[in-house]
């Protein structure tokens, strides 16, 4: 019998780190062989914790524990199992494995809950493969959009074909939805992905809400030409136009109190002695309110159109993703706070999440709250992501106590 302690949770993070398509950091994207191996491994651990493991119609790995009666409501616990490219081993994964460990601990102590439990290991939160993020949690929240079937991954495979290759039936994706089921709420534990807890010398924090986000594919189109022969006055250099936008993103977002990032940029044809004729680049934009985020986007768009006009370029936009800013539910956040207090922290730190989480999509299904765990130097989306074992130990105690606080509020 396993111990369901912090050392084991961290060992399991190490095991999942081996399910990767790349060696320079972890890369595990939606509906890939690595995803399948991860679901299988996590399913074994779910069974071991007394849950009934199964994979849903969208490729999410789930573990269910029925409540005392057939009509009992369900408390959802979880996070995601996919990664960005070059990822560390804790973003998302730690939250899933902590939820499993807490259920194993409660089972071993003979604790029965007044509700059912569904542990969810979402298959896609990052959107790495198909551009559109939160696919797994959107399926569970009943927000699947058939327009997504034609999304293509880097190798040209559509989401529809990827479903089939994974052994899933696209026509059945609606079966992953939990809409209409009696649900108490959703609790997610996650590394902070920022330095605030470390700076405040705290192991844990309670999340107040999650920033709203939008993601775009942007394109500047000019004309390729000879890097020596073409005079400056006649150039239509798409990279110079895109560069003006990249620096404006930082300036406009920072001045307004939003966050903008251009994480990907590709110049075509991409040769040293050719003027770039086309540049494709991305924009990730976040803010505490949707209004602020949208205002900053309008300013960026205006700047891009001006830069394009000045350089005789075309500027095109395609929006891949929009998620509204959400707030946690007071009663569930109070349970998380009570959980942290039970570990000896009398006044838990409250934080706004600047990172996106499955809870953003699940917010359309039910109330949610989140527990944040300190990570080293705030590093995340990087292979050097690190957590302390003693922090994970206290996080397990707090998360377990939060589940028990929800139970106490139910009876």
Sign of CA dihedral 378, 382, 384, 386: positive
Beta strand 183-191 pairing with 368-373: parallel
Beta strand 326-327 pairing with 52-55: unpaired
When the beta carbons of 189 and 338 are compared against ligand GLV, the nearer one is: 189
Using the contact rule CB under 5 A, the part of the chain among 48-56, 88-96, 156-164, 171-179 near Mn ion is 88-96
CA dist 45 and 233 (Å) reads 65
337 binds, among ligand GLV, Mn ion, none (CB under 5 to 8 A by kind): none
State the number of binding residues for ligand GLV (CB under 6 A): 3
356 binds, among ligand GLV, Mn ion, none (CB under 5 to 8 A by kind): ligand GLV
What values do phi and psi take at 278, rounded to 5?
-150, 140
Q: Is 92 in the site for Mn ion (CB under 5 A)?
A: yes
Q: Pattern 296-335, binding to ligand GLV, x per CB under 6 A?
A: ----------------------------------------
CB of 355 to ligand GLV, least distance (A): 4
> Which two tokens mark 159?
């989401």
Q: Pattern 36-75, binding to Mn ion, x per CB under 5 A?
A: ----------------------------------------
CA dist 76 and 136 (Å) reads 14
Closest residue to Mn ion in the complex (CB) = 92
CB of 381 to ligand GLV, least distance (A): 7
CA dist 327 and 349 (Å) reads 16
When the beta carbons of 64 and 289 are compared against ligand GLV, the nearer one is: 289
Interface with ligand GLV (CB under 6 A), residue from 75, 76, 351, 355: 355
Q: Is 279 helix (H, G, I), strand (E, B) or coil?
A: strand
CA dist 126 and 364 (Å) reads 18
CB of 2 to Mn ion, least distance (A): 25
When the beta carbons of 98 and 355 are compared against ligand GLV, the nearer one is: 355
Q: Is 194 in the site for Mn ion (CB under 5 A)?
A: no
Between residue 173 and residue 202, which ones bind ligand GLV under the rule CB under 6 A?
none
The secondary structure of 332-361 as a DSSP string is: HHHHHHHHHHTTT-SS-EEEEE-S--HHHH
CA dist 322 and 79 (Å) reads 19
Q: What angle do CA 140, 145, 147 make, to 5 degrees?
A: 150
Q: Is 391 helix (H, G, I), strand (E, B) or coil?
A: helix
Stated as kind and residue range, the H or E segment containing 121 is strand 116-122
Between residue 114 and residue 143, which ones bind ligand GLV under the rule CB under 6 A?
126
Q: Can you tell me which residue has the tokens 């059945």?
A: 172
Question: What residues does 368 pair with on adjacent strands?
Answer: 186
Q: Pattern 338-377, binding to Mn ion, x per CB under 5 A?
A: ----------------------------------------
Stated as kind and residue range, the H or E segment containing 34 is helix 33-48
Closest residue to ligand GLV in the complex (CB) = 356
CB of 95 to ligand GLV, least distance (A): 12
What Å distances lie between residue 211 and 91, 187, 193, 386, CA to CA?
A: 17, 17, 13, 23
CA dist 73 and 11 (Å) reads 32
Q: Is 356 in the site for ligand GLV (CB under 6 A)?
A: yes
CB of 240 to Mn ion, least distance (A): 32
When the beta carbons of 91 and 288 are compared against Mn ion, the nearer one is: 91
34 binds, among Mn ion, ligand GLV, none (CB under 5 to 8 A by kind): none
CA dist 326 and 97 (Å) reads 25
CB of 276 to Mn ion, least distance (A): 30
Using the contact rule CB under 5 A, the part of the chain among 83-91, 202-210, 233-241, 301-309 near Mn ion is 83-91
Contact residues toward Mn ion (CB under 5 A) are 91-92
Contact residues toward ligand GLV (CB under 6 A) are 126, 355-356
């Amino acid at each position: 019998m396993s111990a369901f302690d912090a050392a084991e949770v961290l060992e399991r993070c190490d095991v999942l780190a081996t399910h990767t398509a790349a060696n320079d950091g972890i890369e595990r994207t939606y509906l890939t062989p690595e995803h399948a191996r991860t679901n299988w491994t996590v399913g074994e651990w779910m069974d071991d914790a007394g849950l009934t493991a199964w994979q849903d119609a969208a490729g999410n790995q789930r573990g269910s524990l029925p409540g005392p009666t057939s009509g009992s409501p369900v408390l959802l616990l979880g996070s995601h199992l996919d990664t960005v490219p070059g990822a560390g081993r804790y973003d998302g994964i730690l939250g899933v494995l902590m939820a499993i460990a807490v259920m194993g601990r409660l089972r071993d102590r003979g604790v029965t809950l007044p509700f059912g439990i569904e542990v969810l290991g979402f298959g896609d939160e990052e959107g790495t493969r198909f551009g559109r993020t939160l696919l797994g949690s959107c399926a569970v929240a009943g927000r699947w959009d058939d327009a997504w079937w034609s999304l293509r991954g880097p190798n040209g495979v559509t989401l529809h074909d990827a479903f089939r290759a994974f052994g899933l039936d696209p026509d059945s994706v609606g079966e992953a939805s939990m809409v209409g089921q009696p649900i108490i709420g959703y609790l997610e534990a996650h590394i902070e992905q920022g330095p605030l807890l470390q700076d405040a010398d705290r192991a844990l924090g309670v999340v107040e809400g999650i920033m709203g986000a939008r993601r775009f594919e942007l394109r500047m189109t000019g004309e390729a030409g000879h890097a020596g022969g073409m005079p400056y006055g006649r150039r239509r250099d798409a990279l110079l136009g895109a560069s003006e936008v990249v620096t404006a993103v930082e300036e406009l977002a920072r001045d307004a109190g939003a966050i903008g990032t251009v994480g990907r940029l590709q110049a075509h044809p991409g040769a040293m002695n050719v003027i770039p004729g086309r540049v494709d680049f991305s924009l990730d934009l976040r803010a505490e309110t949707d209004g602020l985020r949208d205002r900053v986007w309008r300013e960026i768009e205006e700047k891009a159109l001006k830069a394009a006009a000045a350089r005789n370029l075309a500027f095109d936009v395609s929006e891949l993703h929009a998620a509204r800013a959400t707030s946690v539910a007071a009663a569930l956040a109070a349970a998380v706070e009570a959980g942290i207090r039970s570990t000896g922290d009398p006044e838990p730190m409250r934080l706004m999440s600047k990172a996106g989480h499955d809870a953003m999509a699940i917010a359309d299904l039910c109330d949610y709250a989140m527990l944040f765990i300190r990570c080293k130097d705030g590093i995340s989306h990087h292979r050097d992501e690190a957590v302390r074992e003693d922090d994970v130990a206290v996080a397990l105690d707090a998360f377990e106590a939060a589940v028990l606080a929800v139970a106490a509020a139910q009876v």
